[in-house]
Amino acid sequence: MIRWITGVLDSPSPDADDFWQAVTSSTLSPWRDAGGDSVTLRPAYGDPFLALHVVEEGPARAHLDLHVDDVAAQARRMVDVGAAVVRRDGELVALSSPAGLSFSLVPWRGESAWPEAEGRLHRMCLDTPSAMFDVEGRFWSTALVRERPTPLNVLMRRVSDDEAGMHLHLRCADRAAEARRHAGLGASIARVAAEQTTLRDPVGRQYCLTSPDA
């Protein structure tokens, strides 16, 4: 059972940390992990669902942290439905989905309070190669069994590229105004479509702003 989902933005440097703190109107938790390379974006109210992680090498990317009661038991369950264990690091188990998408199992610490964001549901988009789309869909539909909805949901998108990846979708009431705000804080606007605006953060990571009904 997945209790909570955190989207983790992996970067080769902390250059985008101030940007993400500003666009999410968050405060930063103390740095943690063995090398002090992870920090949580704390909302004004409720439990965090986004975090930042400095990695040894680029490019900037994203992964999911799945919060569970029993990490070892859930790791076995994930392997049974198609995941592969990448590493074990203390209480954390890092895995890879059948298409190569990275995620980790971490202990649940009681996270349950939605942030003060009008109950808005944000999403991590799983960019999945066409050849693996059906397999990946079956994996995630089995893996992401939850007791209740969480502020960060998961969306799958079929892509033609061979390499799978993830990018964040942030819902907002006024995409145009929000895109201007993000650009003023350091993002660049890549393209504007009917239902979403694609941007890049200061380290080049792609993410999207979406309308409330998207």
Residue range 100-157, pLDDT digits in tens: 999 999 999 999 998 865 556 799 999 999 999 999 999 999 999 998 889 999 999 9
Q: Are the C-beta atoms of residues 136 and 105 closer than 8 Å to each other?
A: no
**C-alpha dihedral sign at 102, 107, 109, 111:** positive
CA distance 195 to 126: 17
Model confidence at 162, in pLDDT bands (50, 70, 90)? confident
Q: Is the pLDDT of residue 206 over 80?
A: yes
For residue 56, the model assigns a pLDDT of: 77
Q: Where are the domains of the chain?
A: 2-210
For residue 31, the model assigns a pLDDT of: 67
CB atoms within 10 A of CB 190: 12
Question: Strand pairing partners for 63?
Answer: 8
Residue reference for tokens 């970067």? 11
- Six token digits for residue 132: 């693996």
Q: Is the pLDDT of residue 189 over 80?
A: yes
Question: Strand pairing partners for 66?
Answer: 5, 105
pTM: 0.93
DSSP structure string for the chain: -EEEEEEEEEESSGGGHHHHHHHTT-EEPPPBTTTT-EEEEE-SSS---EEEEE-SS-S-EEEEEEEES-HHHHHHHHHHTT-EEEEEETTEEEEE-TT--EEEEEE-----PPPTTTT--EEEEEEEEGGGHHHHHHHHHHHT-BSS--SEEEEEEEESSSS-EEEEEEE-S-HHHHHHHHHHHT-EEEEE-SSEEEEE-TT--EEEEE-TT-
CA nearest 154: which of 120, 122, 111? 122
**CATH value of 2-210 in 3.40.109.10, 3.30.70.120, 3.10.180.10, 3.40.50.10860:** 3.10.180.10
